[in-house]
Structure formats: structure tokens, C-alpha cells
Amino acid sequence: MAFAAFSSSNPKLSHGPVRSSKVVLALLLPGMLYLAMFFMVPLVSLIITSLETPAASGAYGMYDYGFDVSSYVDVTTRYLPQILRSFGYAFLATLFALIISYPLAYFVGVRLRPRPLIQKLTLTLVIAPFFISFLLRTIAWKQLLSDDSAILNFLRSIHLWGEHQYFLGTPAAVIWGLTYNFIPFMTLPLYTSLERLDLRLLEAASDLYANPAAIFRKVTLPLTMPGVISGTLLTFIPITGDYVNASRDFLGSSSTSMIGNMVEADFLQNADYPAASALSAVLMAVILILVSVYVKRTGTEDLL
């Protein structure tokens, strides 16, 4: 779906998939076993760890297996602000990413269709941020929008920004960073949908007296909805777990911390593995709910 952006669309084939055979097992088994081992099992591990209790020996960072759900109670109350903040930032960043990406994806996917080489090159430019280190591009914004940066000073000079007002460390800065960093994840699925849009349908709508706004509302948007939804999922979900943008060393401050920051702190600094695991499990649970709602409505065939 998303990453098929660079391939040509839907050729006619002689026939579809054939009945299962032993070959399928050989092809799928190694990869699926790998996933089972290194994706499923870790999730289970997380749950097990979240239910552990502090070691009877009292040793720091050591835990005994148990069935203690107190960690869940603990993280959902203690970290409620971070949880709400994460989903709030994710919602806003996803919304902004959608608003910024859709027209861009439309331009490349629809308007540039007559010039395929230009189309491919422009698409490459659109996802170019993807090719430069995630951390460095976040740091670039940190420098560009720091308290004493040229941009802020320019805005101050034309009275659009307060003298002692700063940008870094505010929720706005974090959301700015999140939006920017995840735009490629939103744009690619949108582009894939738009690139496959049959323009003759737009022509037909126009022939039937629809003005451009109506064409967009009644034809373009509904037909590209799959791209919008999968782009939204692929953007919203990773953002909820991000912690680099919100980190003090990047665009955030201690008042903008998200779920990820807490997991990092508890896991890597405080050795509070049950808390970190419980928080991760809570996040994962919400995501699984979102994904299952999506799958229920659209099925699994188009997932990949």
C-alpha cells in the first residue's frame, strides 16, 4: 500500500493465486518464525515483565515473576498527563501532516502525471527528509528555531514574535518537529492513492455539473480515503511512541514529556522495568484497538 508508491499500478495478469502447496510453507516459514520470535515474543515478554514484583531480595533493578497488576494502576495514574499529551500531540501532528501533505501529494500524484520522470524525481524530493538522519533533521530545527536564531529574530523585527518569547521547549515546537518528521509517512500512502485515481471520473463529475469543490468532496476525497486512512494510521501510531522530538535535548522540555520519554527513563535510567513495560503495554493495547477497528472495516487484503 504505502510503499508501493514507486511501482506501476495494476497490470492484467493471466490468473491469480494458485492453491496452496508445500512451497508456500518453505517460503513463509522462515520469515514468519522470525517474526514470531522477535516480535510476538517480545510483546509477551513485556507483559510478563509488567506483572513482575520487586525482588524479594530487595536488590535494585531485580524483579521476581508474579502477577502484580499494580504497575498498570501506577502508570495510568502517575503518567496520565504524558498519556494524554502523547495522544493529543499525535492527533494534532497527524492532522497538520495530513493538511500539509494532501495538496502536495495531489500535485505530484495527479498534476504531474503527464511527466512521469519529473513525477518520480519530485516524489523523491518529497521523501528526501527520510534519507537524512532523523536526529540531525530534528537538531536542524532546534538550531533554526532556537531562542536567538535568525528566524525568530526576523519575526521579532516585524513584530510577529515577542521579545522574550521562545519557541523551543513548548508543545508547539514538539508538534512542529513531529509533524515535519512524519510527513513522509503520511505523504506516501496519500500519493499511492492519488496516483491511482482515475481522472476520467473527475471529468465525468465535471460533465455532470459539479464544480471543483464538489468534485473534491464527492469524488476525489472518498476515492482517496483508503490512502488517507492508512497514512493516518502510519503517522499517528508511531508518533504516540516517539520521544526524541519531545526530549529536552531536542525540541521539548520536561513539561512536554510523552509516553516514550517515560518508558525510556524507567527502562534505561530508573531500572523500573515493570513500570516501563506496563506503560508500553498500555500504549500497545490502544494501538491494537485502533488497528482492529481499521481491519474490521477494510479487511486485511489491502493492509500491505
Partner 1 sequence: MKNLRLGRKVLPLYSVLALVYLLIPIVYTIVFSFNNSERSNTVWQGFTLDKWINVCNRPDICESLGNSMLIGVVSTFIATVLGTAIAIGLVRYRFRARSLVSLSLFLPMATPEVVMGAGLAALFFNMGAEQGFVTIILAHVMFCLSFVVVTVKARVQTLDPVLEEAARDLYANPTGVFWRITFPLLLPGIISAALLSFALSFDDFIITYFNSGPINTFPKVVYIAAAKGVPAEANVVASAVFLLAILIVIGSQIMGSVRAKRLLK
Member of 92, 113, 284, 298 binding partner 1 (CB under 8 A): 284
Of all helices (H) and strands (E), which one includes residue 96?
Answer: helix 80-106
Cα–Cα dist 203/210, whole Å: 10
Piece of the chain touching partner 1 by CB under 8 A; list 68-76, 152-160, 221-229, 274-282: 274-282
Minimum Å distance from CB 29 to partner 1?
Answer: 9
Cα–Cα dist 124/117, whole Å: 11
Positions 111 through 130 that interact with partner 1 (CB under 8 A): 111, 116-117, 120-122, 124-126, 128-130
Q: State residue 54 phi and psi, 5-degree precision.
A: -55, 145
Member of 84, 225, 289, 291 binding partner 1 (CB under 8 A): 291
Piece of the chain touching partner 1 by CB under 8 A; list 66-74, 75-83, 153-161, 279-287: 279-287
- Count residues contacting partner 1 (CB under 8 A)? 104
- Give the contact letters, 83-102, x = binds to partner 1 (CB under 8 A), - = no: -----------------x--
Q: Considering only CA atoms, which of 260, 273, 265 is closest in space to residue 66?
A: 273
Q: Does 269 bind partner 1 (CB under 8 A)?
A: no
Which sign does the torsion angle of CA 249, 251, 257, 259 carry? negative
Q: State residue 53 phi and psi, 5-degree precision.
A: -115, 155
Member of 51, 168, 183, 215 binding partner 1 (CB under 8 A): 183
- Give the contact letters, 207-246, x = binds to partner 1 (CB under 8 A), - = no: -----x--------------------xx--xx-xxxxx--
Minimum Å distance from CB 275 to partner 1?
Answer: 11
Q: Considering only CA atoms, which of 240, 272, 245, 278 is closest in space to residue 259?
A: 240
Cell match 504524558: residue?
A: 82
Cβ count near 194 (within 10 Å):
22
Piece of the chain touching partner 1 by CB under 8 A; list 75-83, 140-148, 166-174, 217-225: 140-148
Member of 27, 62, 199, 293 binding partner 1 (CB under 8 A): 27
Q: How far is CA 127 from CA 3, 101, 205, in A?
A: 11, 11, 32
